[in-house]
Chains A and B, each alone.
Chain A
């Protein structure tokens, strides 16, 4: 009530605000009460509040029947009022949202300037790190081997890595074995096979014998997808064509100089080759395997154990950013945010074409595929198992491998699920799913059978 209202007016309530006294009006109180129910809410704070309140209710009424009887008899708003009398719901929500102060606030995260790193990069200019109480410096890095070494050397606390790299590092392939972990996948899809313009009539992979292709790194989805694609068309990637590991920016220059005939590369590089008029999009990687992982967000086990709260906050920021990036309407804004020289350093048009999925194909046509690149943080362990089968298929792993154990050690599906649930998101219940690559089903429970079913593989 206002100061000058008549306090002796019988029709007026002397009590301003609501029954619990924490809201300015009864209607606001009702709104808050709504948030306690399991209904979709808009803002993050509300989401956390809902999570905390439901945890509280569960603790008070271990039996759901009792809870419902209580709510029925007194009503939700009274229940909320009663609860907040003796339990500081607001404070608890704030504490929960922070979940322990990060041990280390100033973090360094390395990235490679490609659109796969979108969530890691955009989290800096769009403030996702700051929101989770971190001061993160995202540092552009010269190549995959360097990013690996700098993360191992602890110059970086966490880094953008190709999805198979943490598996390879943990197994000690191409480096000393150091346990690494993947709390989140960065992007799914978002790669492509680009051929030099002179090959525009050579669209059948069967005619590709003798050609030279570039891939960004040996332990990359690019390598496995290109090999898979070639092998499915009867071309042996080890004997019929040449595969070279080439840093992405040099791919465009090499394609222009005619040193290579094509590449399977991360985007913006594919689109850049088209933009510069040196190649055309033969195939989006999505057409090989829709929903394949590409890059991951990785950290060493040591960092996770020494700074668990920092790591959790970092993962939350990445999951948050990934969720934001997965929405089509945000993509243009993201393209502008990550284009400057401090981040990806590429023309905005190129990034927009990649992120919005409306792109020039290099042959004079404009194509649209909204899922050209997509973002989904959940680190499916079945992805890891698939990568391990391919590492073995192409002779990177020799001897036996315990697929499940490695996948579970490196891909932190359980922890991420817990984190996502706490954030009010709905992660998948299982850590394994089967999927199809070029129409061929992969069952994560039978990796050896899957491996044995390929005719073309490196003889070991």
Chain B
């Protein structure tokens, strides 16, 4: 059995699963509810759910048509509260990028420091253990109250949620660099700084990158919730705005896009991880 034929068969199964899913979805939301008789002028004032027994849940075709509409013009701007999906995703990615980069700038140097010093590692451990499990959204009211700016608050929330996996992985990666390698460096009288960059960093890089990969996933999860909370712009706001209009079709489209963008972000980090991985 060659790998190419396995891949082919896996792809086929994927397509069959997708088709089955769409088929079941389509059947499940068919209009089946009994329609009450009503006068025409009354019916004119009512929605399709009430007049034609149309399910409140849109079918795959409704979603497809709407998705096509969005894809045709992703960057329209009808004012502060109505922008195209492309723009909304752009805002979200920019927020995630800002919060995440800040977290990288803090977590990796700090992780290095903690990983190289057993004293710091033990002293800071209780704080990290307490702060780590806090849901990032729990910070939101506090952030809004102290920072007094909702978009910076959103970035702060991304920062605080993506810092822990990176920090812990960096600490772990740095602390578990093989003793022999460090000893060899010592024997060759390599300085501390040089040792950190030429021996420890390359050795710990795969672990650090894994932490970064976990972080980006969490950051993307959190941004949607954060934007739903503070509103204004972003894909989370889009979900909220369409939820406000009870437009489930648009909510489903947003869910799909959130999934795709999340996958792309993860793939990018995965590629970086492969680049720094080394065989032992």
Which residue numbers of A lie inside 8 Å of B, CB to CB? 113, 124, 137-142, 146, 149-150, 153-155, 248-250, 252-253, 256, 272, 274-277, 340-343, 345-347, 349, 353, 358-360, 364-366
Contacts and interface: CB of A to CB of B under 8 A. Distances in A.
Contact of B232 (A138, A139, A272, A346): A139
Contact of B148 (A137, A153, A274, A359): A153
Contacts of A341: 78, 81-82, 241, 245
A359 B45 contact: yes
Interface centre among A141, A248, A253, A341 (most CB of B within 10 A): A341
Contacts of B41: 366
A176 to B, nearest CB: 9
Contact of B231 (A141, A153, A275, A347): A141
Contacts of A277: 46-47, 49-50
Contacts of A137: 79-80
Which 5 pairs, one residue from A and one from B, show the smallest C-beta to C-beta distance? A277-B50, A342-B82, A360-B45, A142-B231, A153-B148
B231 A349 contact: no
A342 B78 contact: yes
Given A342-B78, A345-B244, A140 B47 contact: no
B246 interface: yes
A34 to B, nearest CB: 42
Given A142-B231, A364-B36, A276 B245 contact: no
Contacts of B240: 142
A137 B81 CA distance: 9
Contacts of A360: 42, 45-46
A248 B148 CA distance: 25
Interface of B: 36, 38-39, 41-42, 44-47, 49-50, 56, 78-82, 144-145, 148-150, 228-232, 237, 240-246
Contacts of B45: 275, 349, 353, 358-360, 366
10 contacts: A139-B81, A155-B148, A250-B243, A272-B246, A275-B45, A340-B82, A341-B78, A364-B39, A364-B42, A366-B45
Interface centre among A272, A342, A349 (most CB of B within 10 A): A342
B241 to A, nearest CB: 6
B39 A342 contact: no
A342 B83 CA distance: 8
Contacts of A340: 78, 82
A345 B245 contact: yes
Nearest to A108: B80
A302 to B, nearest CB: 13
A349 B47 CA distance: 9
Contacts of A140: 80-81, 231, 241
Given A137-B80, A146-B229, A342-B82, A155 B245 contact: no
Nearest to B36: A364
A153 B147 CA distance: 9
Nearest to A360: B45
B147 to A, nearest CB: 8
B150 A150 contact: yes
B80 A153 contact: no
B45 to A, nearest CB: 4
B47 A276 contact: yes
Nearest to B54: A277
A343 B79 CA distance: 9
A267 B17 CA distance: 43
A233 to B, nearest CB: 29
Nearest to A252: B246
Contacts of A250: 243
A341 B80 CA distance: 10
Contacts of A249: 243-246
A349 B38 CA distance: 17
Given A142-B231, A146-B150, A153-B149, 19 more contacts: A137-B79, A142-B229, A146-B229, A149-B144, A154-B148, A155-B148, A155-B150, A249-B246, A253-B246, A256-B56, A275-B45, A275-B46, A276-B49, A340-B82, A341-B81, A343-B81, A345-B244, A358-B45, A360-B45
A104 B41 CA distance: 49
A153 B144 contact: yes
Interface centre among B36, B237, B246 (most CB of A within 10 A): B246
B231 A146 contact: yes
Nearest to A124: B79
Contacts of B228: 142
A106 to B, nearest CB: 12
Interface centre among B79, B145, B237, B240 (most CB of A within 10 A): B79
A275 B148 CA distance: 39
Nearest to B246: A252
Contacts of B232: 139
B185 to A, nearest CB: 52
Given A139-B81, A149-B144, A275 B241 contact: no
A142 B230 contact: yes
